[in-house]
């Protein structure tokens, strides 16, 4: 029960203006029990009357007709004076009395569905017409005056409103009013962010002077990267395009690896390819034509690192593959759907997270990294590689198959933490070195993994580097260990030395016009 200091006088007058009329009958029926007078406009007024409840139309209440095809309804001094008046200020009371205005104690409003309109149409005029003016204006006024007015902006608040009114004899507690005011400002801020970002999207400004994030909390996480850190995940679209079919809640680290895995696998040819990710880095990838074989090849790149990792299959997982997967410990298995038998097999492990990603689409929106009081942003590195993006600089020229394999290696390399080195054989990774301050160290790690887990000798081994080699030593190390072709960005002052070394050793050397650091 709220204390006398923490309550307000009984709610006498409520203004109801909602686009989403679900659960409206529940709300009105309960408000009616407290003998609250209702005012409303447009479709809400008609709906309340249709339900058989008494309600005064706003135009009658204000003695001012709706104008401009309904654009101006609640934008009236009698409405906003009633909402904004300070109940304890004598001058405010006098102003209301002088103008024959009434105090409005409760505002219930939700807005035109601007977010849904953006999804349904590209018609600019329709989008503009679905920018709500009156609703957000009333809500902001009521939230500002939360000491005196209760503001409800979400259907999920209806039950808690009625419960609070029951506890406070037809009034509401200050704590409740403060809580719903906070949520109201969140609603108006989010709504404005959608409008602002829409106008940004149709302008030519990649990096506007101000950035406004409009995100909905998708899920509270058990914790962040570590148990002493709290965490949550937010999304701008209300969903992630992912369906969890089994297993315990995804963690902060799980989500981070899931998105890293999807960014790689969704770049593969349609319905083909497997990638395994651990701590944000790929530890194996393959686009072998046989999907089940692509898993084996990706896994064999580095079985030790794959343990406890996340696997993303860019195809529907079948029973045969499920039986293989079930023998290995993975935290998360992602597929573009699962056969019924595959799902039954994998669900035997009750904690194993199974994610259906068939509806997930990669975004080309800018990437953000934020910490403390700053944010870094850039365009995503989602460039589709073409043959014209590369230049063959060695005397030995690659055949088409070798060239395709080099481009595949380079594509995987851009998702590896810099300095990144990727070794491949026939569209499958055989060694990956990542995240080292020295590119030579990354070469040595990739070679070490290849020798430990692969039997690729006497086969064509190709290498990709995410940036240029500053010295010949890295290239020399790769060639000494069986690499016959290398793809790398140009730009080193020693490019000529590296070209000369490639020519002396009969190594294919291809230069990229773009660098692909991933920090």
| pLDDT tens string 168-208 | 999 999 999 999 999 999 999 999 999 998 898 888 788 88
pLDDT at 375: 82
Query: Quick one: how far is CA 479 from the chain centroid?
Result: 42
Please give the Cα distance from 392 to 399 (Å, whole number). Answer: 11
- What residues are labeled active site? 144, 279
β partners of residue 110: 18
Contact between 422 and 447 under an 8 Å Cβ cutoff? The reply is no
List beta partners, residue 15.
39, 107
> What are the distances in angstroms from CA 105 to CA 16, 144, 390?
11, 13, 68
Specify the pLDDT at position 185.
96
Spans of the chain below 50 pLDDT: 1-4
**Cβ distance 247 to 354 under 8 Å?**
yes
Chain centre to alpha carbon of residue 152? 27
Domains present along the chain, CATH in parentheses: 8-201 (3.40.50.1380), 243-356 (3.40.140.20), 387-512 (3.40.140.20)
14: phi then psi, degrees, rounded to nearest 5? -125, 140
User: Could you tell me the CA-to-CA distances from 490 to 163, 468, 512 in Å, in that order?
Assistant: 68, 6, 6
- Give CA–CA dist 320/459, Å, rounded: 29
pTM of the model: 0.84
Query: What does residue 144 show for φ and ψ, rounded to 5 degrees?
Result: -60, -40
pLDDT recorded at residue 3: 46
Q: Provide the mean pLDDT of the chain.
A: 92
**What are the tokens at 178?**
């403060």
Question: How much is the pLDDT for 1?
Answer: 43
Q: Could you give the strand order of the β-sheet that contains 353-356, starting from the edge strand earlier in sequence? A: 243-246, 353-356, 332-335, 310-313, 274-278, 281-286
Rounded CA-CA distance 484/425 in Å is: 11
CA–CA separation, 390 and 407 (whole Å): 9
């Amino acid at each position: 029960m709220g204390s006398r200091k923490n309550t307000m006088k009984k709610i006498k007058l409520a203004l109801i203006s909602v686009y989403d009329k679900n659960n409206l009958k529940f709300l009105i029926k309960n408000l009616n029990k407290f003998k609250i007078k209702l005012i409303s406009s447009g479709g809400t007024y008609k709906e309340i009357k249709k339900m058989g409840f008494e309600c005064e139309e706003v135009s009658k209440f204000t003695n001012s007709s709706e104008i401009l095809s309904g654009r101006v309804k609640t934008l009236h001094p009698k409405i906003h004076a009633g909402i904004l008046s300070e109940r304890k200020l004598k001058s405010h009371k006098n102003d209301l009395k002088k103008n024959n205005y009434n105090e409005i104690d409760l505002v219930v409003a939700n807005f035109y569905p601007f977010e849904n309109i953006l999804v349904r149409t590209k018609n600019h005029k329709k989008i503009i017409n679905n920018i709500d003016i009156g609703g957000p204006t009333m809500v902001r006024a009521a939230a500002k005056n939360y000491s005196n007015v209760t503001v409800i902006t979400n259907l999920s608040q209806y039950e808690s409103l009625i419960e609070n009114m029951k506890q406070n004899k037809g009034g509401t507690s200050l704590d409740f009013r403060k809580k719903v005011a906070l949520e109201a400002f969140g609603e108006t801020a989010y709504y404005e962010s959608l409008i602002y970002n829409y106008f940004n999207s149709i302008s030519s400004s990649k990096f506007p002077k101000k950035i406004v994030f409009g995100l909905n909390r998708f899920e509270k996480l058990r914790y962040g990267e570590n148990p002493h850190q709290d965490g949550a995940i937010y999304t701008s679209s209300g969903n992630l395009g992912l369906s969890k079919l089994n297993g315990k809640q995804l963690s902060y680290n799980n989500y981070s690896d899931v998105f890293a895995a999807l960014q790689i696998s969704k770049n593969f040819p349609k319905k083909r390819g497997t990638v395994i990710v651990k701590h944000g880095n790929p530890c194996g990838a393959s686009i072998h034509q046989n999907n089940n074989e692509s898993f084996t090849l990706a896994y064999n790149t580095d079985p030790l690192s794959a343990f406890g990792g996340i696997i993303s299959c860019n195809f529907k997982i079948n029973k045969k593959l499920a039986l293989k997967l079930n023998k290995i410990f993975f935290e998360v298995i992602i597929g573009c759907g699962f056969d019924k038998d595959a799902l039954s097999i994998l669900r035997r492990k009750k904690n194993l997270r199974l994610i259906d990603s068939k509806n997930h689409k990669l975004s080309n929106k800018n990437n953000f990294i934020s910490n403390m009081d700053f944010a870094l942003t850039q365009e995503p590195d989602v460039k589709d590689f073409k043959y014209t993006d590369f230049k063959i600089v060695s005397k030995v020229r690659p055949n088409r198959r070798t060239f395709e394999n080099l481009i595949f290696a380079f594509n995987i390399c851009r998702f590896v933490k810099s300095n990144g080195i990727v070794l491949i054989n026939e569209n499958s990774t055989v060694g990956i070195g990542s995240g080292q301050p020295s590119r030579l160290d990354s070469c040595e790690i990739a070679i070490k993994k290849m020798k430990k887990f692969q039997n690729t000798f006497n086969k064509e081994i190709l290498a990709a580097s995410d940036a240029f080699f500053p010295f010949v030593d890295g290239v020399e190390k790769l060639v000494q260990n069986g690499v016959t072709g290398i793809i790398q960005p140009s730009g080193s002052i020693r490019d000529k030395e590296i070209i000369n070394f490639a020519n002396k050793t009969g190594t294919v050397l291809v230069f990229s016009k773009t660098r692909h650091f991933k920090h």
